[in-house]
Amino acid sequence: MGHTPALVPFYLVVDVSQSMEGPRLEQANQILRKLAAALAADPRANDKVRICMIDFSGSARVVLPLCDLLNTAALPVLRTRDDGTRYSPALDLLLGTINQDTRQLAADGFAIGRPAAFFLSDGEPFDDAPNAWEQSLARLLATCENPPMIVPCSIAESDPAILRALAHPRPGTPVLVQGADAQPEDAINALIDVVIGTVLSSADQETAVFTQINDQSELDTIIAEPPEEWITAQWEAGGR
């Protein structure tokens, strides 16, 4: 039996609470469309990645089950829901979905790379019970059969400190934070380029690879928390 190339699963977890209504949601709805266009132009990358989208507000649901984006008849359209903002249901659903997808892909004979999850929110988890999202995160990291890299994306009224806590593994995972002078919809637009760049370059590596943030006009929209490896000596970095 020949070498089976690993598939890298990507999970796009997107806030659809009421505050996303308007231009923010319009931009969020461009994520899958632009990603599909980029993958259509790069069939070799498309063969190696799979995409899933989960939306959340006070509840969470899988709006696009893990799939080859180019074989999807119609891309889902996100709509806002008016039932609060909770991170816990989204993290719990992410755990269940990754476990299920991992087993499914393995049963289909695929090798599976490390999944990556982009977690986009424009608000704080006001409606979670105390400690709820922290416990969900701990459960996800401790019990997931294929623990994901989690890249938090903080826009608008979300709390960068809370989202930073979601980043995994640390150090090394960027945290994307909207710049002070940027509009939320511009930040989402810049994020799309980061997602596309990451997905395309990950196809070669069998794990999520964060390429340079390549938006040409919104450099200050996104601040990536840089990894410690950038400042350690070469001998030290090589020895780890």
Partner 1 sequence: MTWRDLALARPALGALLPLGGGGQGKIFRLPEFHLAEVPVPLIYKEYRETSGGVAPQGVANVITLRAAVAREQQPWFDSHLVWPLRLVVDDLDAADATVAGIVMRLIPGAFFTELRLGGETHRVPREARFLFLDRRDAAQRGLDFPDLAARLLLCQRLAYLIAFLHRNDIVFGDISSRNVLYCLAPTPDVLLVDCDAVRKVGSAPVVAQGHAPDFMPPNPRSPQSITTDLFKLGLFVIRALSPGAVVTADTAGRTAAGTLDRTGATLVAASVGHDPAARPSALAWYRYFRSLTLLSLPVRGL
CB of 220 to partner 1, least distance (A): 5
Tokens 């982009």 label which residue?
118
Contact flag: residue 40 with partner 1 (CB under 8 A): no
Structure tokens at 125: 């988890």
Nearest distance in Å: CB 150, partner 1: 17
Q: Are 46 and 68 in contact (CB under 8 A)?
A: yes
Q: Contact with partner 1 (CB under 8 A): which of 80, 178, 189, 198?
A: 178
Which CB sits closer to partner 1, 107 or 180?
A: 180
**Alpha helix (H) residue ranges in 86-149:** 88-107, 132-143
Of positions 43, 181, 235, 238, contacts partner 1 by CB under 8 A: 181
Tokens representing 145 are 């059969």
Residues in 194-233 at the binding interface with partner 1, rule: CB under 8 A: 210-217, 219-220, 222-224, 226, 228, 230-233
Whether 176 and 224 have beta carbons less than 8 Å apart is answered as yes
Closest distance between partner 1 and the C-beta of residue 7, in Å?
A: 24
List binders of partner 1 among 58-77 (CB under 8 A). none
> Which SS3 state, helix, strand or coil, does residue 212 take?
coil
Question: Could you give the string, one character per residue 122-161, with x where binding to partner 1 holds by CB under 8 A and - elsewhere?
Answer: --------------------------------x-----xx
- For 40, residues 6+ apart whose C-beta sits below 8 A from its C-beta are 46, 70
Report the SS3 class of residue 9.
Answer: strand
Comparing CB distances to partner 1, the nearer of 148 and 184 is 184
Nearer to partner 1, 75 or 223 (CB): 223
Is residue 179 part of the contact set for partner 1 (CB under 8 A)? yes
Residue 9 near residue 105 (C-beta atoms within 8 A): yes
101 or 215: CB nearest partner 1: 215
CA 119 → CA 90, 152, 175, 188, 195, distances in Å? 9, 5, 10, 12, 11
How far apart are CB 49 and partner 1 at their closest, in Å? 19
CB of 178 to partner 1, least distance (A): 6
Measured CA to CA, the distance from residue 196 to residue 37 in angstroms comes to: 10
Q: Which residue matches tokens 């890298």?
A: 8
Where do contacts with partner 1 occur on this chain (CB under 8 A)?
A: 154, 160-161, 164, 171, 177-181, 210-217, 219-220, 222-224, 226, 228, 230-233
